[in-house]
Amino acid sequence: MALRIPLVLALMLAFAAPAAAVQPDEFLPDPVQEQRARDIGRNLRCLVCQNESIDDSDAPLARDLRLLVRERIQQGESNQEVIDFVVARYGEYVLLKPPFKASTYVLWFAPPFFFFIALLAAFLYYRRSRAEEALPEAQPQPLTDAERRRLAALLDNDKAP
């Protein structure tokens, strides 16, 4: 029974939402609209702190943008329309998740590409090492007569003085 407490705590932490900088006075009265605002805000970069979303950032600009997002939601815009509005002003750089299009193909395809290369290299290495094990050359060859004589001479030399 006592063992379950850490497990429950770990599960609670795993599913806990990170604390956002969204202030209570910004909340929309409609929880559905507020949730949409969170979904949008989580994916918009705060241009002041750059690696935080506008929902995570305490920068005044982030607050202005959160209010703007909520205002446009209340005006009846779709999530995509709100995002397009912000992108038109600040560029695609504000999207924390880059769009999938020609100029970002390298970004999206490079990781799977390098993973594939690594898999291929690992496979080739594995296959070659298996092949080498199977080869008769891998076994030690018996010494030739000339090698035997040379070895005997060297050993004799050692004993001599």
Q: Which of residues 36-55 bind another protein (CB under 8 A)?
A: 47-48, 50
Q: Which of 20, 28, 87, 96 binds another protein (CB under 8 A)?
A: 87
Question: The tokens of 106 are what?
Answer: 């390298």
DSSP 8-class letter at 140: P
| CA–CA distance, 55 with 20 (Å, rounded to integer) | 6
Closer residue to another protein, CB minimum distance, 47 or 96: 47
Q: Please tell me whether residue 91 binds another protein under the rule CB under 8 A.
A: yes
Q: Please tell me whether residue 118 binds another protein under the rule CB under 8 A.
A: no
- Residue 148: count other Cβ atoms within 10 Å of its Cβ: 11
Q: Please tell me whether residue 95 binds another protein under the rule CB under 8 A.
A: no
Q: Which of 61, 77, 95, 96 binds another protein (CB under 8 A)?
A: 61
| CA–CA distance, 86 with 67 (Å, rounded to integer) | 12
Closer residue to another protein, CB minimum distance, 39 or 64: 64
Q: Please tell me whether residue 96 binds another protein under the rule CB under 8 A.
A: no
Q: Please tell me whether residue 20 binds another protein under the rule CB under 8 A.
A: no
Q: Which of 81, 84, 92, 132 binds another protein (CB under 8 A)?
A: 92
| CA–CA distance, 109 with 118 (Å, rounded to integer) | 14
| CA–CA distance, 129 with 127 (Å, rounded to integer) | 6
Closer residue to another protein, CB minimum distance, 28 or 59: 59
The Cα-based distances of 57 to 5, 23, 31, 90 in angstroms read: 33, 11, 21, 17
Site of interaction with another protein (CB under 8 A): 47-48, 50, 60-61, 64-65, 68, 87-93
